[in-house]
Amino acid sequence: MSEQHRKAGRARLEKLTPDQRRAVASAGAQARWAKADPDRANLPRAEFGDDKRPLKIGDIEIPCYVLDDERRVLTVSGMQRAMNMAQGGSMVRGMNRFELFTARERIKPFVINELADRIRSPIIFITPTGGRAYGYEAETLVELCEAVLSARAAGVLQKQQLAIAQQCELIMRGLARVGIVALVDEATGFQEVRKRDALHKILEAYISPDLLPWAQRFPNSFYEEMFRLHGWAYDPESVKRPGVVGKFTNQFIYEQLPSGVIDELRQKNPKDDLGRRRARHHQFLTEDVGHPHLQKQITKTVTLMQASDNWSMFKRLFARVFPRKGDQTDLLTDL
């Protein structure tokens, strides 16, 4: 490489942020490692997690990662420390330490075949820093602890194995209230990505990429009942309505769709300088998911209006039927 190219490369790097420079360096290192170690290219990679953000269970810390196929893994060495097992080389007499431990006569009867198979085949993966690591899916720790505690309850453990059982009890107590997968997601930061992915899937299901032709989605009864409950004169031939009707429509209909949908509709269908929108919100909803949910919400709302004597009564009934939720992703499967 010429001096001119080196200078140009340094100049480009100087314009990058520290995070961007680290990403470039990591990519370069991974490319060099892959060239030197062809098998590395076929190994799963950890996309989330690092040694500075371990899984914490009380005073116990275990390095954890989320792989590119979304498997949550705990490192073998971290699990060994957590269970108070002997450290050192990962293989003894051709067996990894967990395989050797579970193959012992006193423990083996309490280890189901599926767990034994997983223990015999730890996951080899590439860490975010480019190193090789060995791990097990997070649930393996729970199942292994359960096996050890069952052996202790049966009174078959040797004295030196009781310390391991004590650690297993501490681990299980620490996990009693929170699932192991949720803990790994929190420790690695993957939970935020899951939220973004969930929102993306919701918007993809509800928001149409194209503006659909106008069709009457709100029946006259929706406005007729709203006017009745407010004591307003209703003229079915007139399209003029009090400005607050739009607010009510958003509050009782569109805001009851999954979280994020109304914000996306407002972004795709903004108001102009005169406060008007170029289309109706429902023209941006998908035919297969968005519109059926919209119609279901309208029908339920009209029914509650018809059952009410006044607007206050309607709001009380509505709040009872549609309590505020922090997350409405379950509505995707309730159309």
Helix (H, G, I), strand (E, B) or coil at 79: helix
- HSE-up of 203 (CA within 13 Å, CB side)? 17
- Rounded mean pLDDT, 84-109: 76
Q: How distant is the alpha carbon of residue 264 from its chain centre? A: 20
Q: State percent of the chain over pLDDT 70.
A: 81
pLDDT of 324: 67
Write out pLDDT tens, residues 42-73: 899 998 888 788 988 888 999 999 998 889 99
pLDDT at 140 over 80: yes
160: how many CB neighbours lie within 10 A of its CB?
Answer: 8
pLDDT of 87: 64
pLDDT of 275: 82
Write out pLDDT tens, residues 152-181: 999 999 988 999 999 999 999 888 766 777
Query: How far is 287 from 169, CA to CA, in rounded Å?
Result: 53
Write out pLDDT tens, residues 254-304: 999 988 899 999 998 998 888 888 899 999 999 999 999 999 999 999 999
pLDDT of 220: 92
Mean pLDDT of the chain: 83
pLDDT at 187 over 60: yes
pLDDT at 79 over 50: yes
pLDDT of 24: 54
- Burial per residue of 300-309, b for 16 or more beta-carbon CB atoms within 10 angstroms, e otherwise: bbbebbeebe
Single-letter residue type at 243: G
Write out pLDDT tens, residues 221-251: 999 999 999 999 988 888 788 889 999 999 9
pLDDT at 23 over 60: no
- Burial per residue of 114-140, b for 16 or more beta-carbon CB atoms within 10 angstroms, e otherwise: ebbebbeebbebbbbebeebebbbbeb
pLDDT at 252 over 50: yes
Q: State percent of the chain over pLDDT 90.
A: 48
pLDDT of 9: 57
pLDDT at 91 over 60: no
Comparing C-alpha atoms, which of 241, 243, 219, 193 is closest to residue 305? 219
- pTM of the predicted structure, to 2 decimals: 0.51
Query: How far is 231 from 300, CA to CA, in rounded Å?
Result: 21
pLDDT of 34: 44
pLDDT at 85 over 90: no
pLDDT at 26 over 60: no
